[in-house]
Amino acid sequence: MIGISHIRTMREMMIETADLHRSYRIKKKSIEVLHGIDLKIHSGERVFLCGPSGAGKTTLLYTLAGLERPERGSVRVHGADIYAMGRREQACFRNREIGYVFQNYHLLPELTALENVAVPGAIAGRDSSAAAFAALARVGLSDRSGHLPAELSGGEQQRVAIARAIVNEPKVLFADEPTGNLDSKNSVAIMRILLDLSTEHHMTLVVVTHDQNLAKSGDRTLIIRDGSIHPTECG
């Protein structure tokens, strides 16, 4: 029988970091949040990042997604060194290759659900109305396309955020506590959508969560503690 680790070695590498360091300065004190992290995530893999508050989970996710530059080390996504790029090139790469789901949705309040989902396409200079409607339908919200965020429940707003994140068919989807503001029923539903999307589109999924039960639904759980990774298999 072929083991899980051997199967991973045959997959395309999607995310790879080397000696990743990230720190913050509070007054005159420097606090290191990421301590030389080396990480490999393969194409189509579903990885959950868990750990206590302040351990560096969100900082790591932002750094992997090209949203926070590390002081030292490299991040390669789909073969590209994202911090070796200029700002414009990096922004285009993120728009094309990466989707991101935030805990607080980050929807534009003056835009309808459909218009919010179409934003990444508009940034790329495309009319993505049809793709946006298809993405909304995929998360079960085609009948709410004309509603403003304030007219939607928290679970519906998060589904709009997911649709926006996948409208450009990214290779990688990052999600930062995507169920953190939701009740248990909506949390399970949102996680099911993310996992199904990953399977259907062979999309790499990296999720930050405090919920150990939800984390067990992935391929791997990585425990972040004191800025370092402590790997453990799910289940």
Dig out the tokens for 60 from the structure: 């790591």
**Which residue bears the tokens 């399970």?**
188
25: Cβ contacts below 8 Å, ≥ 6 apart:
31
Return the sign of the alpha-carbon dihedral for residues 50, 56, 62, 63: negative
Would you say 160 and 105 are in contact if contact means Cβ atoms under 8 Å apart? yes
Please count the other Cβ atoms lying within 10 Å of the Cβ belonging to residue 185.
9
Give the dihedral of Cα atoms 145, 206, 65, 113; nearest 10 deg. Answer: 10
Per-block mean pLDDT, blocks of 10 residues, the chain (235 long): 43 93 84 92 95 90 95 95 95 94 94 96 86 95 96 96 95 94 91 94 94 87 89 51
Q: Is 68 helix (H, G, I), strand (E, B) or coil?
A: coil
Q: Can you give the pLDDT at residue 90?
A: 95
Terminal alpha carbon distance of the chain: 20
List, edge to edge, every strand of the sheet that includes 80-81. 29-42, 13-26, 72-77, 80-81
Question: Which domains does the chain possess?
Answer: 4-233 (3.40.50.300)
Phi, psi for residue 194 in degrees, rounded to 5:
-60, -45
